[in-house]
Structure 1
Amino acid sequence: MIVMNDLNGQPSPGDCLARSVPADEPAVEIVWGMLKGLGPLWEGVPSGPGISGVLPPRREIEALYGAAAAEPPLNEDPRFAAIFADVYDVSVRNGQVLMTLTRTQPDGRLSSFAYGHHWKWEEQKYPWAFELQSRLGEASTELESTFALNLLARDPKQRDRGLGRRTLETWIGEVGRFGCWLQTDDIDSPARRLYERLGFTELGHGPEAPNGQPGLVMFRSPR
């Protein structure tokens, strides 16, 4: 596992943001997975006191995302949390991912995360990506050599503390010069409003989202 400040090892805006928060707020950690993945034997280190600089295990991703997505306005079925956690697990084992996260103190429990990976169309050999490219048409070229934000979640018990925003801002700070994108439900939600405030704009619609409607693809240009 590699823990880096930036793609070239230099301090990044996200790193500076993580250090500037008040002392009583959890710092945002920046964790890079291995370029070729962590392999089939990877299990993850459970969050706890004193744990830092490691990617959390699949079960923690499922639990936290499931709790966050179960609340209005998403009201997602728990099975989607399991599916997204499986995708996370495969991504960590097979290829490099970037995760930013916070852990509560003093118990060290995972309280927010954002994760994603570098995107090149020639490497995406699965049905979801084929459908995404087909639905976006010519606009799909905007996504080449950017970073895809796969998942963002914040503990619903930790609302009104800005954890989700700080976690996402730090992730963007690491990849901003490449541009980044995401797919979300095409509804008016706090998450979508956050994406818009941070510079994401609508690019088009992609494969079906958990609500059964075509997902909204949002793109943030390189900065």
Structure 2
Amino acid sequence: MAHFPGHGPGHGPGPGRRDDIVVGPLDLAARVDEALAVQAVAFGLGAEEVAVRRQIVLRHMTCPGARALGATTADGRLAGFVYGMPNDRTHWWSTVVEPYLRARGHEDWLDGSFVITELHVHPAHQNRGVGRALITAVTDTAAEPRSILSAIDTDSPARGLYHSLGYTDLARQVLFPSAPRPYAVMGAPLPLRRRTPRVR
């Protein structure tokens, strides 16, 4: 488990309240509504989108090898979550990205990869290493030699995080049905890259 020390009284979100965060196993099916509330704030989802994603998440968690981790505050609230599973070419996501990867000579990444399906951190807890801890922890236990994911194809903090972890672009401008913006598909060897301590 990863532990993130609080800011102390007067520095966390709320007067006199610590903001300790612990990363550990998450029963995502049991806490799906709480997790999707985090995703809705972090990703800007409306109620209809949340309802659709709820069914998708519950279905995903029945897939072989699917697992989730949560980042929980000292008072038990979910500050962030990640989940993923061994990639399966028959899943919808794979069927969409496959022609883009094939066109760039990266189709083999669909085999032997652990796919990060969702990773979200509530804005109040971002920029503290929570997302990094979640994704490294969930991939550290993967049997697969590499990881694959998709992210909105823009110069965002999320893409910066993935690049810092060793993910490289496998395909750009990937269009998912009904998604308003194109995505990039990224892949990295496992274990993910760790930060190198700076020498003073």
Same fold by TM-score, threshold 0.5 exceeded?
Answer: yes
The whole-number CA distance in structure 2 between the counterparts of 1:191 and 1:83 is: 23
Structure 2's unaligned 5+ residue stretches are: 7-18, 192-200
Shift of residue 29, structure 1, vs aligned partner: 0.4
1:140 equivalenced with 2:98 (yes/no): no
Query: Aligned to 1:183, what secondary structure does the other structure show?
Result: strand
What percent of counterpart residues are identical?
A: 23
Shift of residue 188, structure 1, vs aligned partner: 1.1
2:24 alignment counterpart: 29
2:194 alignment counterpart: none
Shift of residue 21, structure 1, vs aligned partner: 5.0
Aligned amino acid, residue 23 of structure 2: V
Range with greater deviation from structure 2 (208-217 or 55-64): 208-217
1:120 alignment counterpart: 88
The whole-number CA distance in structure 2 between the counterparts of 1:210 and 1:201 is: 25
Structure 1's unaligned 5+ residue stretches are: 1-17, 32-53, 71-75
* TM-score (norm. length: structure 1): 0.68
| Distance change in 2, residues 1:213/1:157 (3 Å) | closer
Query: Aligned to 1:188, what secondary structure does the other structure show?
Result: coil
Structure with the larger helix share: 1
1:184–1:209 CA contact under 8 A, matched in 2: no
C-alpha RMSD over aligned residues? 2.5
The equivalent position to 1:216 in structure 2, one of 168, 184, 187, is 184
Render the CA deviation track for 1:117-150: whole Å, top value 9, x for unaligned. 00132xx154x43222122114121220210000
Structure with the larger strand share: 2
1:58–1:86 CA contact under 8 A, matched in 2: no
| Distance change in 2, residues 1:139/1:214 (3 Å) | same
Shift of residue 22, structure 1, vs aligned partner: 4.3
Aligned amino acid, residue 174 of structure 1: T
* TM-score (norm. length: structure 2): 0.75
The whole-number CA distance in structure 2 between the counterparts of 1:20 and 1:63 is: 23
The whole-number CA distance in structure 2 between the counterparts of 1:19 and 1:68 is: 21
2:33 alignment counterpart: 59
Name the count of aligned residue pairs: 175
The whole-number CA distance in structure 1 between the counterparts of 2:91 and 2:167 is: 26
Taking CA–CA contacts closer than 8 Å with sequence separation of 6 or more, which of the two structures ends up with the larger relative contact order?
Answer: 1
2:72 alignment counterpart: 103
2:87–2:114 CA contact under 8 A, matched in 1: yes
1:154–1:163 CA contact under 8 A, matched in 2: yes
Shift of residue 185, structure 1, vs aligned partner: 0.5
Shift of residue 59, structure 1, vs aligned partner: 1.3
Shift of residue 87, structure 1, vs aligned partner: 1.6
2:156 alignment counterpart: 189
